[in-house]
């Protein structure tokens, strides 16, 4: 057996509307086809690929991170993303990856899951950020 690639992450949500607003309105994923499960949730897509499954209606763990430290997405539009986060008062940490200069932006979703967004090193620094 060999792993061929990453299929998706699944997260639990205590507030499905807030979770969808974060991942769709702020990060740009979109809701799409989901099997008719007997519990609430959503499948969120990047293009034609369902990359994030959201399950609602279940108790959340005491530690939202559990054994997963974070999920990472390749992204584009660093300055616009920073603006979206600032407008929603979502705290974030922005840094450059040592070596290749990739921009790494870390924040948390509404339920506390840590999210990393990786932007190409050639994207300009967002306003107010000293590179």
Q: What is the pTM of this model?
A: 0.90
CATH value of 9-57+69-119 in 3.40.50.300, 1.10.600.10, 3.30.2010.10, 3.10.180.10: 3.10.180.10
Structure tokens, 97: 């990856």
Q: How far apart are CA 69 and CA 114, in angstroms?
A: 7
Give the mean model confidence (pLDDT) for residues 63-83: 88
Distances (CA, A) of 5 to 2, 8, 55, 121: 9, 10, 22, 24
The average confidence (pLDDT) of the chain is: 92
Domain coordinates of the chain in residue numbers? 9-57+69-119
pLDDT tens per residue, range 23-53: 999 999 999 999 999 999 999 999 999 999 9
């Amino acid at each position: 057996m060999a792993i061929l690639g990453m299929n998706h992450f699944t997260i639990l949500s205590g507030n499905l509307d807030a979770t969808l607003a974060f991942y769709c309105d702020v990060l740009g994923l979109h809701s799409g086809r989901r099997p008719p499960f007997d519990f609430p949730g959503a499948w969120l897509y990047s293009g034609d690929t369902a990359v994030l499954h959201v399950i609602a209606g279940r108790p959340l763990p005491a530690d939202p991170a559990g054994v997963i430290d974070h999920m990472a997405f390749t992204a584009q539009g660093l300055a616009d993303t920073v603006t979206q986060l600032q407008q929603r008062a979502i705290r974030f940490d922005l840094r450059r990856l040592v070596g290749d200069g990739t921009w790494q932006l870390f924040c948390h979703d509404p339920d506390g899951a840590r999210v990393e967004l990786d932007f190409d090193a050639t994207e300009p620094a967002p306003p107010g950020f000293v590179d």
